[in-house]
Amino acid sequence: MKILSLLLAVSALAFTGCSTVNPATTQLNSKLSSMKSAYVITHGGTSADMDLHLQEALVKRGLTVKAGPEESKAADVDFYASYTDTWRWDLTMYLKELHIAFYDAKSGALLASGSFNNSFLHSFPNPADKVRDVIATMYGERPQE
């Protein structure tokens, strides 16, 4: 009976999906909490939703946000926000990976970066939630997960 219970527990673990918001990397002199404006480098096309999720997450943090292509970066902001997103297909599209980075608008130095990685036995996460979770870690907070 104990062996059957153990086999069932191992099987349950093997067939559940895992995903994680990784600990963020921040520079020692980074003062994100004092920054009030950002420029989101947009991708458009199939990533237009992610463009909006990133903008909305920053606005909810009280920042003034501008957005557009990289070549049109605004000079009157505190930092630039860029991201890469990777999607996969399994009955429907799902977010495989998300990497977000904030760069100082004046020097171009990396202020903070964070990421989300879905596992091989993946879940179907809400992309807006994952953007908020990654940004939370970049501000030194715990993700909602």
CATH number, domain at 106?
3.40.50
Element (H, E) at 26: strand 19-26
What is the reported pLDDT for 124? 67
Residue 133 belongs to a domain:
yes
- Dihedral-angle region of residue 62 (phi above 0 means left; psi in -120 to 50 means alpha; beta otherwise): left
Residue 50 has pLDDT above 60, yes or no: yes
66 confidence band (pLDDT: 50, 70, 90): very high
Of 56-65, 79-88, 127-136, the range with the highest mean pLDDT is 56-65
Per-residue pLDDT of 88-134, as tens digits, reads 777 777 788 999 999 999 999 999 999 988 865 657 678 889 899 99
Residue 56 belongs to a domain:
yes
Q: Exposed (0-12), middle (13-18) or buried (19+): which is 110, by Cβ within 10 Å? A: middle
Average pLDDT over every residue of 75-98: 87
Residue 9 belongs to a domain:
no
Residue 23 belongs to a domain:
yes
Average pLDDT over every residue of 69-74: 90
Residue 24 belongs to a domain:
yes
What is the reported pLDDT for 17? 46
Element (H, E) at 24: strand 19-26
Query: What domain count does the chain have?
Result: 1
Percent of the chain with pLDDT over 70: 74
- Which residue, among 103, 102, 99, has the nearest Cα to 84 in the 3D structure? 99
Q: In this structure, which amino acid lies at residue 76?
A: D
Element (H, E) at 50: helix 48-60
What is the domain range of residue 129?
17-138
In a 3-state reduction of DSSP, which class is residue 105?
A: coil
Residue 80 belongs to a domain:
yes
Query: Any residues with CB less than 8 A from the CB of 46 and at least 6 apart, and which?
Result: 87
Name the more confident of 108 and 1.
108
Residue 30 belongs to a domain:
yes
Q: Which two tokens stand for residue 18?
A: 């895992």
Q: What's the Cα-to-Cα distance from 66 to each of 52, 63, 137, 144, rounded to whole Å?
A: 11, 10, 22, 26
Residue 69 belongs to a domain:
yes
